[in-house]
Amino acid sequence: MPLPPNRTAKITAVGKYLPERVITNFDLEKLVDTTDEWIRTRTGIIERRQVGDGEATSHMATAAARDLLEKRQIDPEEIDCIIVATVTPDMFFPATACLVQNNLGASRAWGYDLSAACSGFLFALDAGARMIESGSSTKVMVIGADTMSSIIDYTDRATCVLFGDGAGAVLLEACEEGNEGILDSILRCDGSGAEYLCMEGGGSLHPPRAETVAGKKHYLYQDGRIVFKYAIKLMADITAEVAQRNGLKSEDIQLFIPHQANQRIIDASVERLGLREDQVLSNIDYYANTTAATIPLGMADAVEQGRLKPGDNVVLAAFGAGFTWGGIYLRWSEVF
Ligand code: UT7
């Protein structure tokens, strides 16, 4: 049967998971030469979460997925595909998506991991939307999950204050009328920025050796100033581009959900769009930068806080390692 020409993918449920352990700025003052005041004023972060012993990305992703399934009241066997956006998989292989599939008992699902750092959730959301639009799938689960504490050097004040652990999940289903859901996306990458935000060790270029461990190559490295310079421009540019391409003026956007890397980077995009504070979702203060999880966690919080209703115009934007960046426009639908 031919597909309706305008079929889109809408979000029908959201779920989240945050580990219980809270690490405050004051806790970090005891580890490195930093202050609560510096962290708050330079980043907007007050605290972040950290996994417990033995807890990894698949556990957080599974918990977020279970939260979603409970809300949507569906059986895991109804899921066609699971995409996990992450840069901190439990292992190189098998994919975290396979571990989540097994944990859930999603016996009909296939799945894979997607590596695009802080833009990972947007890239995965776009891929999932295409599966729904094409008619190849009816229920796709898109998860953003990262255990940043597993690749952070807690003696490096320039990075250890910035990141946290967490997971968020959304379910995509078809909107046959084509008037809700993911309506547009602009996604980009530029590998010339690779060296400024990366983890060099453990891959095929620098396989794990005593020297790579001694050289701290299994930790996240970031040249904060350079990344900041690109992030502040490119995230604001792509947000404006996706809004303009869809004829959205500031008053037409009910909620902007940006990646949460630094409150100052969020503010630059907000200023470019001319948005008021109540049109912006910011939760960096309590979660810090959870990499692929920031945007689905933002959605889950917005739903919990009653800040989204069917018909709302929502703009998502992200920037991260690669460099990767993107903007997505979606019209919110009824969400469980
Ligand atoms: O999500 C993926 C993408 N990542 C990002 O978008 C992050 C982009 N970068 C940033 O958000 C910011 O660059 C940082 C928050 C990482 C740093 O803020 P900044 O305003 O760019 O600070 P800076 O790197 O220019 O450092 C200013 C000073 C330096 O001291 P000197 O050289 O001026 O004496 C740093 O050594 O602040 C110092 N500093 C700190 N001081 C206290 C750096 N980190 C800390 C710290 N506590 N934790």
* Tens digit of each residue's pLDDT (9 = 90 or more) over 124-165: 999 999 999 999 999 999 999 999 999 999 999 999 999 999
250/320 Cα distance (integer angstroms):
25
170/122 Cα distance (integer angstroms):
12
Q: Is 118 a catalytic residue?
A: yes
Instruction: Determine the pLDDT at residue 5.
Output: 61
Ligand 1 contacts CB of residue 163 (under 6 A): no
**Statement: residue 4 has pLDDT above 60:** no
DSSP string, 257-277: EE--S-HHHHHHHHHHHT--G
Distance 170 CA to ligand 1 centre (A): 32
Q: Is 283 a catalytic residue?
A: no
Residue nearest to atom 26 of ligand 1 (CA): 225
Distance 161 CA to ligand 1 centre (A): 10
Q: Residues 261-266: what's their mean pLDDT?
A: 96
CATH fold group of domain 8-180: Peroxisomal Thiolase; Chain A, domain 1 (3.40.47)
Ligand 1 contacts CB of residue 225 (under 6 A): yes
CATH fold group of domain 182-331: Peroxisomal Thiolase; Chain A, domain 1 (3.40.47)
Q: How do the domains of the chain map onto residue ranges?
A: 8-180, 182-331
Residue type, 309: K
Q: Residues 68-88: what's their mean pLDDT?
A: 97
170/325 Cα distance (integer angstroms):
20
Ligand 1 contacts CB of residue 269 (under 6 A): no
Burial 176-214 (b: 16+ CB within 10 A, else e): eeeebbbbbbbbbbeeebeebbbbbbbeeeeeeeeebee
In contact, 180 and 331? CB cutoff 8 Å: yes
Tell me whether the CATH fold assigned to 8-180 matches the one assigned to 182-331. Answer: yes
Element (H, E) at 120: helix 120-134
